[in-house]
Every structure is written in structure tokens, then in C-alpha cells.
Amino acid sequence: MSTATEAVPRFKVGDWVVFPFGIRRVLAEVIEDRGPIGHRGRRLYGVRIDRSEPEPMTTEVPEEELEPAPREVLSSEAARKSGVSTEYWPRYEFDATYVREGKMNHWTVYTKGGRTQEGVVARGQVGRSTTRYESESPGDEQFAVITVLLEYDPRLRDPRDAPAIWRAMVDEARSLADKGFKAQHPKAVIIPN
């Protein structure tokens, strides 16, 4: 055996790495050191790309294709700028609730986070629901909810653990929801809560 295959492993279980996966670079967690069992004694690692249930996406990658992940937790924007795909990252669901004040076209918006969605690839506005009073004519909604999904760094168990990233996600969710709402109500005046 060559000394290259007997070298100390570069990564250990629990390390986060970046590697090419198809046409993307992805962030993944090392879940197994398979040892020097690859072609010509290459060291292979088992990595988990996402945490979706019941079966997370895993694959084996040769050590030379792996590089350490950035130490800092990334926002989705920073990841994309550095060439790391966020397609397999968990999504967090936000609901922006718009409440109409009387007959005026003034709407108060309340934004709240809901829950993590694993294994979902949708991003941005994914749902819209409205309601109107029975006596009102169509188009006179009094209440609307727009649901937005945004990805976050999978190293976080909850995006609220990183206040700067959480604040940016809330702001982005509101912005995307407002755009969707304004598409239906172009003359609406949106009042943040």
C-alpha cells in the first residue's frame, strides 16, 4: 500500500464539507469514514447532503474531492455567491398575514415563522389564501395569507439560532410576500406591524 492511502484522514465524522455534486457544489456532513477502499486505495467518505425524512440523501465521495466547509454559518445569498448550491438545504416556512382595515385599501401585515420543511426544493412564495365576508363582492378580501419558504444553512438546527441570518430571512420573506400580495392588490398600502 502506498503511504498516500495510509495518511491520516483529512475529515472525521461530523465535519462539514463542500464538494462537486453534478453541476453544483453542495454542503454536506461527513457521516462515515469508509477508509482507503476506493480505486487504488482512495479514501472514501459517506456524506449526508440533506436531512429529509424518512431517508436523507447520502452518497460516497473520495477524499480528494472534498474541501472543508466555510467555518461561518452562511446565509443563502452568501452561499450562492460563493458557488455553493442551496437546493438541498432545509426550508423554513413563513406566513405573512395581511388584514384589511375596513373598506380602505390599507392592509396591516404580520409575519411569523412556522416550521422547518425538510426535503422540499421549492423556494419563495408557495401559497396564497384569502377570505372575504359573505356579504362582500369578489375582490373585497378582508384577509390574506401568503406562505413563503426560504432555505437556511443545514448546520443550524433552527435558523433562529443565528440572529443575523434569522433577521435577513424574515426581511426576505416579507419582501417576497409583499411582492406576491401587491401583484393581486397593486394599489394596496401595506402597513408593517
What dihedral do alpha carbons 171, 175, 180, 185 form, nearest 10°? 110
- Can you give the residue ranges of every domain in the chain? 16-69, 91-192
Residue pLDDT, tens place only, 119-148? 676 777 676 665 544 445 556 778 888 999
Q: Provide the sign of the torsion angle of the four alpha carbons 104, 106, 112, 118, taken in this order.
A: positive
Overall average pLDDT of the 154-175 stretch: 92
Pairwise CA distance, residues 111 & 170, whole Å? 8
Residue range 11-40, pLDDT digits in tens: 999 999 999 998 999 999 999 999 988 888
Question: Alpha carbon of 55 to those of 22, 32, 79: distances in Å?
Answer: 20, 16, 25
Give the tens place of pLDDT for each residue, 84-113. Answer: 999 899 999 999 999 988 878 899 999 888
The pTM is what?
0.79
Among residues 79, 76, 81, 77, which one has the least CA distance to residue 92?
76
